[in-house]
Amino acid sequence: MLALPKYGCLNVHASLLPRWRGAAPIERAIVARDAETGVCIMQMDAGLDTGPVLLRRSIPIASDDTSDSLSQRLCALGKEALCTVLTRLETDPPTPVPQASGEAVTYAAKIQKQEALIDWHKGAADIAAQVRAFYPRVPAFTYHHGARLRVLQAVPQLLCGPAEPGTIMKVSDHSFLVACGEGALEVHAVQLDGKNAVTVAALRNGHPDYLAPHQRFASSPHGG
């Protein structure tokens, strides 16, 4: 099948190959806190995203990029890159560049739902990246009052004073601060189980007693 078309088969892959071959390159790049990503127009072969690259385009990953916002930017970039390659195939075909091997190769495994569970012992910057990467497909979550709480928007902050990871340090009108293994996470939007996504301000208006300082988030519905 790969050999049937006159110019072979082309693929638009949303990463800078050979980094993040596989099913979830956009999410994995954000979780890994990569500084940049991009698209590659590659000549398909029998391997998993292993073919030579015809054209490569890169963009920086913004500090507030989610998988959704980054996907949209990469989609536009990929369309432009693919059109560039297609218009050149007959008159000025790009030179296929083999991908690097060895340590340069990383795999972007499919996202599993359990990966979205927040481990508050991790650093705030890593948790914030997890929140951005998994939104909106598989939102990051924790447990509070025996039920799941999805965390949709959050930014890392410096922690003022010692606290056990997962402890609510401060609740304000528009956010709440949670202690992490390093630093703290300032949360701005959440989703209660079975409810719509809301800002913290809206959550507090509807459920004024749901969040309070010194409460601690859990890793299961039963606590702990």
pLDDT tens per residue across span 13-40: 999 999 999 999 999 999 999 999 999 9
Residue of 112, 120, 136 whose CA lies nearest to 219: 120
205: Cβ contacts below 8 Å, ≥ 6 apart = none
CATH topology assigned to domain 113-206: Methionyl-tRNA Fmet Formyltransferase; Chain A, domain 2 (3.10.25)
Buried b vs exposed e over 70-82: b needs ≥16 C-beta within 10 Å? Answer: bbebbeebbeebb
How many CB atoms are closer than 10 A to CB 153? 19
Residue of 24, 25, 42, 57 whose CA lies nearest to 99: 42
Structure token pair of residue 98 = 């083999």
Q: Distance (Å, rounded) from C-alpha 190 to C-alpha 175?
A: 10
Mean pLDDT for the chain overall: 96
Q: Is the pLDDT of residue 224 over 70?
A: no
- Tens of pLDDT, residue by residue over 178-222, are 999 999 999 999 999 999 999 999 999 999 999 999 999 999 988
Which CATH superfamily hosts domain 10-108?
Answer: Formyl transferase, N-terminal domain (3.40.50.170)
10 Å CB burial of residue 4 (0-12, 13-18, 19+) is exposed
The residue ranges of every structural domain in the chain are: 10-108, 113-206
Mean pLDDT of 98-111: 96
10 Å CB burial of residue 16 (0-12, 13-18, 19+) is buried
Torsional class of 11: left (φ above 0), alpha (ψ -120 to 50), beta (otherwise): beta
- Tens of pLDDT, residue by residue over 35-88, are 999 999 999 999 999 999 999 999 999 999 999 999 999 999 999 999 999 999
